[in-house]
Amino acid sequence: MKLVIEKLSKTYPGGVRALDEVSLEIPRGMFGLLGPNGAGKSTLMRTIATLQEADSGSVILEGSQVAGRIDVLQEKERVRGLLGYLPQEFGVYPRTSAVRLLTHLAALKGVGRNGRERAEVVDRLLERVNLSDVKHKGVSTYSGGMRQRFGIAQALLGDPQLLIVDEPTAGLDPGERNRFYNLLAEVGENIIVILSTHIVQDVKELCTSMAIIDRGRVLASGSPLDAEESLRGKVWTRTMSKQELQQRDWAYPILSSKLVAGLPSVRIYSEEEPQGGWRSAEPDLEDVFFSRLSSSHS
């Protein structure tokens, strides 16, 4: 099973080109869509989720176990029967418990042949996302991580074959983020999961394939490990004073700069060894991300 996107474009009123002939092949498993805020990620996710129209291009779901080949842009009802979607923000009914709300959503989605079957499905999902102990509490009282786990539970109703999650770990503390990682990794073993995020660590931890998008264009795609390997011998680092960093008497692109023991630790991109005491550094996915953004803005 795979999702094939070809030359997908979308321009909003005012001339903002959110998608510029995006072409991607997304296989079964966890796929990371990485890009800064405003890159076009949410537009792409909403288009795949049948929530908005594209101007041109195609999106085809191939090899579906239930429905075979599906034209996502033309056969929206068929797509929705196979789709789970967790948007960046979602609302809940005040004072409604998790079990009541999930049961209501299950009924709307046609899950279960009767109330008993539906209740069994809901209980299994709440146990799977570790919310059984608080299932009778109002979802509006949940912490951010608990709400995201509830969001995954509702997205998994009906056993979707395509799951889309948009910026799911923004604002979560490290413990909640790790729990969410584990849940997504488990879910992504047998279906297509598209993870849209601006957090590099999310993609590095979870995804076997990825794409970097900015200004509506795909800048790179492939596996995170291959992307890191492509920068081997081209990333250099040096610790310097804040004054040296401000003066910046070199012409190499800065990949990142962070304070270490009160001094800036700077990473740059150069295909040859730079002068001035720079040391070769092990490339990581953050270097890939910033090098692609830097080259697209130059």
Half-sphere exposure for 257 (CA within 13 Å, toward CB):
14
Q: Does 66 have pLDDT greater than 60?
A: no
Residue 292 inside a domain? The answer is no
Q: Does 65 have pLDDT greater than 90?
A: no
Mean pLDDT for the chain?
A: 91
Comparing 33-42, 87-96, 136-145, 156-165, which segment has the lowest mean pLDDT? 87-96
Identify which of 113, 79, 88, 53 has the alpha carbon closest to the alpha carbon of residue 198: 88
pLDDT score for 223 = 95
Residue 155 inside a domain? The answer is yes
Could you tell me if 128 and 102 are in contact, meaning their C-beta atoms sit under 8 angstroms apart?
no
Boundary-marking domain end, from 159, 187, 214: 159
Q: What is the largest CA-CA distance in the chain?
A: 72
Alpha carbons 192 and 163: distance in angstroms, whole number: 6
Alpha carbons 297 and 80: distance in angstroms, whole number: 37
Q: Are strands 209-214 and 83-86 parallel, antiparallel or unpaired?
A: unpaired
Residue 287 inside a domain? The answer is no
DSSP single-letter state for residue 272: S
pLDDT score for 67 = 62
Token digits of residue 46: 């909403």
Domain count across the chain = 3
Residues 1 and 77 in one domain: yes
Could you tell me if 182 and 111 are in contact, meaning their C-beta atoms sit under 8 angstroms apart?
no
Residue 252 inside a domain? The answer is yes
Which 3-state string (H, E, C) describes 191-249? CEEEEEECCHHHHHHHCCEEEEEECCEEEEEECHHHHHHCCCCCEEEEECCHHHHHHCC
Token digits of residue 173: 């503390």
pTM score, whole prediction: 0.89
Half-sphere exposure for 47 (CA within 13 Å, toward CB):
25
DSSP single-letter state for residue 138: B
Q: Does 118 have pLDDT greater than 70?
A: yes
pLDDT-based confidence at 172, cuts 50/70/90? confident
pLDDT of 69-109, one tens digit each? 899 999 999 999 899 999 877 777 778 999 999 999 999 88
pLDDT-based confidence at 169, cuts 50/70/90? confident
Residues 142 and 262 in one domain: no
Residues 52 and 195 in one domain: yes
Question: The CATH number of the domain where 25 resides is what?
Answer: 3.40.50.300
pLDDT of 201-237, one tens digit each? 889 888 999 999 999 999 999 999 999 999 999 999 9
Average pLDDT over residues 160-186: 85
Residue 42 inside a domain? The answer is yes
Residues 2 and 23 in one domain: yes
Boundary-marking domain end, from 159, 174, 209: 159
Residues 74 and 165 in one domain: yes
Alpha helices by DSSP H, listed for the chain, are: 41-48, 76-80, 98-108, 115-128, 144-155, 174-187, 200-206, 224-229, 242-247, 285-297
Residue 289 inside a domain? The answer is no
Residues 34 and 5 in one domain: yes
Residue 293 inside a domain? The answer is no
Residues 146 and 167 in one domain: no
Rank 45-54, 159-168, 181-190 by mean pLDDT and report only the highest. Answer: 45-54
Residues 67 and 7 in one domain: yes
pLDDT-based confidence at 298, cuts 50/70/90? low
Average pLDDT over residues 113-127: 93
Residues 42 and 26 in one domain: yes
Residues 7 and 55 in one domain: yes
Residue 7 inside a domain? The answer is yes
Structural domain including 38 reads: 1-82+161-223
Residues 69 and 172 in one domain: yes
pLDDT score for 177 = 83
Neighbours of 24 (CB within 10 A): 19
pLDDT score for 4 = 96
Boundary-marking domain end, from 223, 243, 265: 223
Residues 22 and 155 in one domain: no
